Amino acid sequence: MTGFDIAETSAPWAIFVPQGEAEIRRQLSELETKGGRVHHFDSRDLLTEEAVCRSFADALRFPGYFGRNWDALVDCLADLCAEVTGGVGIAGVIHDADRLLGADHFPLFVSVLCQGADRANSEVDLDGFALDRPAFAEHFLFEFSAFDRERIAQQVEQPDLTVTTGEGFVAAALCPEVWH
């Protein structure tokens, strides 16, 4: 199982894996060793848009002006402070993601995470101008107790994402023809 490195600032941004995967544990440990942070989310706390916004705002210490909607979530994920990221990066681990797979908001949730991570992992803004901060690694891992690669890929697939599969994982990033 390879094809991504969550300690680096390269795609994919959302990665779907079986629960307890040894390679994921190794990469999370490496991120923390470099000074990055790992944030854990229980899927029971992500069953609605409102719950997603609340959970992410609490865990990632979003500012008080956070608008608690998908667009505001993208903006705050793109602008996390050094205190939250360790100045290096973050990985958000969503446990028991099986609960989310059939949720109406699941495809949009994945796209929003990819949009925020794509911006965080870049040193330039959407217009191509240099940001006043370095890029930092930001990735989101969805852990499944019943990992079904084909079903997950089908649920994640949407026009604005590029979805790839490998042995033991599904990965998503923004589709360059749509976003760049």
Per DSSP, helices labelled H in 14-170 are 22-33, 49-59, 70-78, 82-85, 106-120, 149-156
Query: What pLDDT score does 109 carry?
Result: 98
Nearest to 8 by CA among 135, 143, 129, 131: 135
**pLDDT tens figures, 147-176:** 999 999 999 999 999 999 999 999 999 998
The two tokens of residue 157 are 């697939």
- Cα dist. 11→8, 35, 52, 74, 133 in Å? 9, 20, 22, 16, 19
User: Using an 8 Å Cβ cutoff, are 158 and 33 in contact?
Assistant: no
pLDDT tens-place values along the chain, 180 residues long: 568 999 999 999 999 999 999 999 999 999 999 999 999 999 999 999 999 999 999 999 999 999 999 999 999 999 887 778 888 999 999 999 999 999 999 999 999 999 999 999 888 766 777 777 778 899 999 999 999 999 999 999 999 999 999 999 999 999 988 876
- Ordered strands of the 14-18 beta sheet: 37-42, 89-95, 137-144, 14-18, 169-174, 161-166
Sequence letter at residue 7? A
Please give the distance of CA 25 from its chain centroid, rounded to a whole number.
Answer: 16
Beta bridge partners of 140: 14, 92
